[in-house]
Structure 1
């Protein structure tokens, strides 16, 4: 990794994480669905909306029409209720059905008063600062500090991996759910080694390549998980079953019960 430039490493000269998300990066093919989503959120929630943020491949400008998701974080001025969650789900389904250029639409809702708490430094505050760009409303990211890669960030973004994985195992998953959990596992594995690798990648291909040297006993598992992030089919849960020990190891590291070099097969 020593021959990488700072830009390809995802860090600036001081080692802080750079943010490749911008409204100007939105490709023309996705402008209509982004605009429709913003107007629909405003119409549905009005004054209860504080701000709307874009993340993922569309925000980076490397989305693939008819293959990529649209991902947005939505900040509310008051507590997010079950009714709000259901309304967001309805909007998601309706907009995705009308704009087939995206495969699905995901909303991550949060409450302003919670997001600004010190306890959210490595989760919401990091997320809005380095993983999003503001589309509408008052940009909270301007108030938050810059970060360098750290174990705290890995935990802040993925400490729910164990619960998410257990929930996944308890259901009959479709291809979209398998792809989603595979992405989460790969990102979690990468974020754990990012401080040592001295990188901060935003796309799965680079995360996979950077992770390989740090998990020598789990090469096949990483290969399987990466393949599922690209092309998961309903029924490919069996492929993830072969990765169970690796996934459990990653989840335990995030919970502080395993070291990064721990091998549960030993």
Structure 2
């Protein structure tokens, strides 16, 4: 991605999917297509599988589901059943994750900015009508950064709270990894309206942050390492997460003026 010569944020490259992941993607198409489950409007893949960077046995399969209306309890149960079935049938992926949104929210002027950015720049449609086709490319802005990660304080607090409760080692590692990635991406809030850059990879975020805040660079490097290889104890990580999240909130307020 990054930014093109016209100052627009790039999109995930439409390269051929890795051959080893074609069976699970086809299973997703068949299981979640609107003809099979009418509530489904469209299905998108994002992350390492979408970008052709997935590693067998290490990468999750990340999917965004856009629903045509609010799901009933029965609908939720059916969708979760499909998720667990996909996960069990395809050990090539470590986990199958569904991010679920509503069509009305994607189209909303008030709350749809983050959804439209997400679908246009990070997702590839694999079933249903591709909403991204009618969405124009976005340009870097603080408003967009806020729409995407303005919820970081609440999200990171939930990760903190989960890590202070008993967890299996595998669950703890996953929470550490996910929290680290959310925190790193949330540093994009540290920008003004005159900033024209837009980080793409976790390394991009780290490099940008270390340039702007060199005295805090070592701390973000810790979270970068945990995002790649989560091995910190839950207690120590939760404490550092809480402290850095507080610092980030204060720094973001200063950037907002």
- Residue equivalent to 1:93: 84
Q: Which of 37-46 and 12-21 deviates more?
A: 37-46
TM-score where L is the length of structure 2: 0.86
- Residue equivalent to 1:136: 127
Aligned residues of 1:179 and 1:229 also touching (Cα < 8 A): yes
How much is the aligned-residue C-alpha RMSD, in angstroms?
A: 2.6
SS in structure 2 opposite 1:46?
coil
Give, in angstroms, the shift of residue 124 of structure 1: 0.6
> Which of 203, 225, 228 is the equivalent residue of 1:227?
225
Unmatched 5+ stretches in structure 1: 1-8
> Which of 245, 256, 259 is the equivalent residue of 2:254?
259
Cα–Cα, structure 1 residues 247 and 52, in superposed 2: closer, same or farther, change >3 Å?
Answer: same
Give, in angstroms, the shift of residue 164 of structure 1: 1.4
> Which of 189, 202, 208 is the equivalent residue of 2:200?
202
Cα–Cα, structure 1 residues 112 and 261, in superposed 2: closer, same or farther, change >3 Å?
Answer: closer
Question: Distance between the aligned counterparts of 1:120 and 1:261, measured in 2?
Answer: 20
Q: Which of 110-119 and 187-196 deviates more?
A: 187-196
Number of equivalenced pairs? 250
Question: Distance between the aligned counterparts of 2:73 and 2:158, measured in 1?
Answer: 19
Question: Distance between the aligned counterparts of 1:74 and 1:194, measured in 2?
Answer: 32
Listed as ranges, the matches of 1:47-58 within 5 Å are: 47-58=38-49
TM-score where L is the length of structure 1: 0.83
SS in structure 1 opposite 2:125?
strand
Listed as ranges, the matches of 1:1-150 within 5 Å are: 10-22=2-14, 24-42=15-33, 46-150=37-141
- Residue equivalent to 1:179: 177
Cα–Cα, structure 1 residues 236 and 261, in superposed 2: closer, same or farther, change >3 Å?
Answer: farther
Q: Which of 104-113 and 212-221 deviates more?
A: 212-221
